[in-house]
Amino acid sequence: MLPGVGVFGTGSTARVLVPLLKAEGFEVHAVWGKSEEEAGCLAKELGIPFHTSRSDDVLLHQDVDLVCIYIPPSMTRQIAVKALGIGKNVLCEKAATAVDSFKMVTAARYYPQLLSIMGNTLRFLPAFAAMRQLLVERYVGEMQVCDVRVYGPSLLDQAYGWTCEELMGGGGLHTVGSSVIDLLSYLTGERAHRVHGLLRTFVQQNGLIRGIRRVTSDDFCFFQMLMGGTGSRSGGVCCTVTLNFNMPGSFVHEVMVVGSAGRLVARGTELYGQRNGSKSEELLLGDSGWVGPEVKEMPLPHLQGLSSMVKALRESFQAHEERRSWARGPVAMAPTFEDGLYVQTVVEAVKRSSCSGEWECVEIMSQEPDPNHNLCEALQRNKN
């Protein structure tokens, strides 16, 4: 039996998610927005019976068994941890810091019977699921290099807000880079142990953000990750990622894995491959022909991935009679909160590298830091 859903957030993802949930048979009972107006507006638009700007009203809503959290990163941890504490299943977007991610991991470990997954939907895109399968089957032989490029228009919101502010979780690295970092660990089956990066904010002001306000979040980011074993100089997969959000009117999403025996390339939602020795590339998985809504803010790979994830959620919950019970199988590929912590740790290491100019180690937090430390670090970063 499918659980009742409560949605946090009124942004573009929430707006897409609700119809997808409904199409799979989920009932969306409640929506939370920053203001009553925003919540009411979305509730009316999407036919959601209850709306509020008080988070507890959704978390404690008796018909809500699954909470979907699509709000600014700095608010995510608080809602996600509370939801788990109340006994609700959680699907959520990334948090703003590794400390927040660590607190979410602690909560998820404490309630292992509850579903707790990160909303990185690229893993669910059929092209990447097929790519991973082919990599496991050694289509490319020994993996050598992953090369990812995401180019698109500005990620900034119309008005000044968290998307403009690096410390609030804005910027290409945090927003889009996160999903790439997660995807690459999923595809290679390895995690980054050292990273190097360079961030830039080429557009610091625009027609809407001006005066004393400046954008601090990156619109260009470029990083390298050395995956897996720390041993030999040439060992391990090299990942290179280029993110450029100064390219209005374009959208490029390309993920290439090169190995000793061939290569695989996902362009948008399609998968191509070429084995060494063959004359040309073969189409391994074509575009399935997306029939859902087109969303300007959401590139097709993310949109189709979201749709596939909602289907997987439906299968996971359908397997059980009880509303809150779910089967692991259909969502086994979903990123856990532990994956979320890893991704956040890489993001922060890349940012450190961009400041220091050096390769930085990726060290996953294993205990919560001194609460004062966080403040000190923030102050220190502001100084730079």
Residues that bind its own copies (CB under 8 A): 144-145, 147, 149, 196, 198, 200-204, 220, 222, 224, 234, 238, 240, 242, 244, 246-250, 258, 260, 263, 274, 276-281, 357-359
Put residue 25 in one of left, alpha, beta given phi > 0 → left and psi -120 to 50 → alpha: left
In DSSP notation, 308-335 reads HHHHHHHHHHHT-SSTT---SGGGTTS-
Minimum Å distance from CB 83 to its own copies? Answer: 39
d(CA 54, CA 63): 16
3-class secondary-structure state, position 219: coil
Identify the CA nearest to 174 among candidates 184, 183, 163, 188.
163
* Cβ-based nearer residue to its own copies, 173 or 258: 258
Shortest CB 197 distance to its own copies, Å: 10
Q: Which is nearer to its own copies, 224 or 318 (CB)?
A: 224
Exposed/middle/buried for residue 219 (C-beta within 10 Å: 0-12, 13-18, 19+)? buried
C-alpha span between 245 and 66 (Å, rounded): 33
- Minimum CB separation of residue 210 from its own copies in Å reads 16
CA distance 184 to 176: 13
Which residue, 358 or 368, has its beta carbon nearer to its own copies?
A: 358
How far is 377 from 149, CA to CA, in rounded Å?
Answer: 31
Least distance in Å: CB of 140 to its own copies? 10
In this complex, which beta carbon is closest to its own copies, that of residue 45 or of residue 358? 358
Min dist. Cβ of residue 117 to its own copies (A): 33
Count of other CB atoms within 10 angstroms of residue 345: 22
Residue closer to its own copies, measured from CB, 20 or 284: 284
Q: What's the min distance (Å) between Cβ of 122 and its own copies? A: 21
Residue 286 amino acid letter: G
For its own copies, the closer CB: 75 or 346? 346
Nearer to its own copies, 62 or 250 (CB): 250
Closest CA to 245 of 203, 195, 198, 194: 203
The least distance separating its own copies from the CB of residue 266, rounded to whole angstroms, comes to: 16
Which of 111, 359 has the CB closer to its own copies?
Answer: 359
Counting Cα atoms < 13 Å in the Cβ hemisphere of 18 gives: 23
- Indicate the SS3 state at residue 272: strand
- Nearest approach, Cβ of residue 102 and its own copies (Å): 28
Q: Are 42 and 68 in contact (CB under 8 A)?
A: no
